[in-house]
A = this chain, B = another copy of it.
Amino acid sequence: MRLSARSEYGLLALVDLTTAPGGSPVAAREIAERRGIPPAFLEQLLADLRRAGIVRSTRGAHGGFALARGASAITALEIVEALEGPIVPSVCMPNECDREGGCAAATVWTDVAGAVRDALGGFTLARLAEDQSRLDRAPLTCTPRRNT
Contacts and interface: CB of A to CB of B under 8 A. Distances in A.
Closest 4 CB pairs of A and B: A103-B142, A115-B119, A92-B144, A115-B115
The copy count of this chain in the complex is: 2
Contact of A80 (B1, B88, B103, B118): B1
B135 A92 contact: no
Given A8-B92, A92-B8, A108 B135 contact: no
A4 B97 CA distance: 15
Nearest to A92: B144
Interface string A73-115: 0001000100011011111100011110111111111011011
A91 B144 contact: yes
